[in-house]
Amino acid sequence: MDGRLGYVREMTANGGVGRDEAAEVERRARVARGWDEVAEGYDAYFVPRFAPWLRAGVDAITDGVLPDGPILVPCCGTFPEVEPLIERFPDRELVGIDLSAGMVRLARSRVEGHPQVSVVEGDAATLDPQWSGRCGAVVSVFGLQQLPDPEQAVRSWLAVLRPGGRLSVVYWPSKTEDDGPFAVMADVVRAQVPAGDSSWEGRLAIALVDAGGVVLRDAELSFPMTHADAATYFDAANRAGSLRALGIARGDEFMARLRDEFLEKAPTGEWTHHPRARILVVQR
């Protein structure tokens, strides 16, 4: 689910990898429902603000010659990647995959009139075996940090590539900034909800190399982002973003208290910050 904030995994998970099957099914349903409810607001508020990172993720597969085959976009959300991908690859089959029915509905609306593009409702954490060894590229922007096992996910994404194919992954690490709304929100949430295990971040590149990939780039990406004020940001995150799953789990009264705590710690007025994402570009 592209663009969703780095702390979403901590808020929606309750122990991380290794939970029993019933708990994992419940977690997936809660996450999907949260994104179903906010799909339109997310597309309106967050997608434009995340555009520079999205463009960088797409650019990373265009500076060389890709082998034939589809380009997959796991965790596509409302599929904003599709416009720059069509610009660069007008005749290539493009496939978006997302767990949220609400996101898929908007994504399908976005790709109408482009017969070479399709959107699949499904779990992008492990790609369907039908894609194995067939694809020219995989691009995923801001979905990886939400998945229960990111290491397994990137191995699955690498496995669908043809030799010479490229994987471009942009994700929010556990720490995106030292101050700013992401940092303040993370502090407020962690006081109420234990942080998830983020040790996987240090193992991603190793996992990809072990799976036969060659790391071409491993870097930070930072761009400015502006919100009218702290209340606007919190309400967008709650009603149109990553806080919705937490709100579903904890209820409106909990979220109202969380909002008060966030506003107490936040500055007044317009709020510009420079969050840091990570990009990994790997060739098979």
Label residue 272 exposed, middle or buried (CB < 10 Å: 0-12, 13-18, 19+): exposed
CATH code for the structural domain at 8-283: 3.40.50.150
Tokens of 30: 């809660």
Element (H, E) at 253: helix 252-265
Q: Give the CA dihedral 1, 172, 282, 85, nearest 10 degrees.
A: 40
Instruction: For the chain, give the longest Cα–Cα distance.
Output: 53
- pLDDT score at 24: 63
pLDDT along the chain (284 residues), means of 10: 41 43 68 80 96 97 92 97 96 96 95 96 92 97 93 97 98 95 95 87 95 97 98 95 86 95 97 98 97
Q: Considering the entire predicted model, what is its pTM?
A: 0.89
Cβ 9 vs Cβ 145: under 8 Å: yes
Please tell me the distance from the alpha carbon of residue 53 to that of residue 278, in angstroms, as a whole number.
Answer: 9
The residues spanned by each domain of the chain are: 8-283
Please tell me the distance from the alpha carbon of residue 66 to that of residue 16, in angstroms, as a whole number.
Answer: 35
Q: Between β-strands 94-98 and 135-141, what pairing exists: parallel, antiparallel or unpaired? A: unpaired
Label residue 130 exposed, middle or buried (CB < 10 Å: 0-12, 13-18, 19+): exposed
- pLDDT score at 84: 97
Please, which residues have CB within 8 angstroms of residue 56's CB and are 6 or more apart in sequence?
170, 221, 279
Cβ 238 vs Cβ 259: under 8 Å: yes
- pLDDT score at 23: 66
CB atoms within 10 A of CB 222: 14
